[in-house]
Amino acid sequence: MDRRETSDLGSVDSDQTSRSGHDNHLPRQGSSGMATKLASKSEHLYKRARELIPGGVNSPVRYYSPYPLFVASAKGSRFRTVDGEEFLDYCMAYGALLDGHAPEEIVEAVQMALARGSLYGQPTEMEVELASLISSLVPSMEMVRLVNSGTEATMHSLRLARAFTGRQKILKFEGGYHGAHDSVLVRAGSGASSLGIPNSEGITKNVAEDTLVAKFNDEGMSRRIIEDHTHELAAVIVEPVMGNMGPVLPRPGFLETLRKITQENGVILIFDEVITGFRVALGGAQEYFGIRPDMTVLGKILGGGLPIGAFGGRREIMEKLAPLGGVYQAGTYSGNPVSVAASLATLQSLKRRARQ
């Protein structure tokens, strides 16, 4: 992103910034009388970060030219950089902060939870409460397993679908983003086979070939792929509203067709509601469009700014998970009490407001 564009989007004016005592980023007069711009603290931090962190960032989407802004604090709709610049935040952590930065209810819940302990390695009452609340808001999630991110949630849901059906392949949609694990970092190949091509180095050909790709909103193509691969297709995973390339709404009848075809062919339909969950409607896009998938994946908004994810679905599918079944899924930080407290506060707040 061009620095001029960033500075123009919601930054305070230079007079206000100067009055706050944060004017080191402004042009100064050099000895020659020409305006010279002092290097910002963000620029210095980025140079240091590049020596320690690949690319200077811990997620590639956080980089933009000539260097990213380093944030010092945030509240409500705005964040402040280490240089004292204030910006209106249109990104909101890529959709995770539905209520903005540091809402009081979540901050209070996190502080109270942290005072009791940051991690137990044992179950808690709050986990049960959160699973119950999620199931009540998203009824298709008859049972719920908590994880640490949307990526984990999609990864484990696909493993579970493969185990439940005894099939290997999955179908995703071109442009759909389902996290950063191998099975879903695949784009469409050419030819009638619709075999995937890796979208990242390090993904093996065999993994990519188990991922089929269709065009979103193309009912005919989706039907052909599902019917042609019925005996080897475990799951169809879809963002009901495509977020990574849009947003792009489903055409009338598209999601209904997916639901019908997958049911007819014994294929698990997974709604990736990491972005749409609790945003399109309190019960997610599935509530809004009136479609009940077999499994659902949640993240982002679920944590109110803290790392958490969840996947859930039909009881007979979820009971395949260990320790009940043979599908192994585990995580040291899964059900972390601080994240769970933030999630409970977030969903309870949304539920109260939905009733108003």
Q: How confident is the model at residue 18 (pLDDT cuts 50, 70, 90)?
A: very low
CATH code of domain 104-355: 3.40.640.10
Q: How many CA atoms lie within 13 A of 121 on its CB side?
A: 0
Q: What is the mean pLDDT of the chain?
A: 87
The predicted model gives 274-282 an average pLDDT of: 97
Query: For residues 154 and 105, what is the distance between their CA atoms, to the nearest angstrom?
Result: 29
Query: For residues 180 and 286, what is the distance between their CA atoms, to the nearest angstrom?
Result: 24
Query: For residues 166 and 172, what is the distance between their CA atoms, to the nearest angstrom?
Result: 18
* Residue 65, token pair as written in the block: 């030219």
Per DSSP, the three-state class of 211 is strand
Beta carbons within 8 Å of 193's beta carbon, 6+ residues apart: none
Q: What are phi and psi of 293, to 5 degrees?
A: -75, 170
Q: How confident is the model at residue 225 (pLDDT cuts 50, 70, 90)?
A: very high
Q: What residue spans define the domains of the chain?
A: 3-90, 104-355
- pLDDT reading at 202 higher than 70: yes
* Residue 38, token pair as written in the block: 């002092």
Could you give the residue numbers annotated as active site? 177, 272, 300
Q: What per-residue confidence (pLDDT) applies to 183?
A: 77
The predicted model gives 96-118 an average pLDDT of: 98
Predicted TM-score of the model (pTM): 0.86
- Return the CATH architecture of domain 3-90: Alpha-Beta Complex (3.90)
- The 10s digit of each residue's pLDDT in 314-342 is 999 999 999 999 999 999 999 999 999 99
Contact between residue 137 and residue 352 where contact means Cβ atoms under 8 Å apart: no
* Residue 208, token pair as written in the block: 């990519």
- Give bridge partners of residue 147 from the DSSP assignment: 309
The predicted model gives 226-246 an average pLDDT of: 94
- pLDDT reading at 191 higher than 50: no
The predicted model gives 34-41 an average pLDDT of: 60
227-242 burial: b if 16+ Cβ within 10 Å, else e:
eebeeebbbbbbbbbb
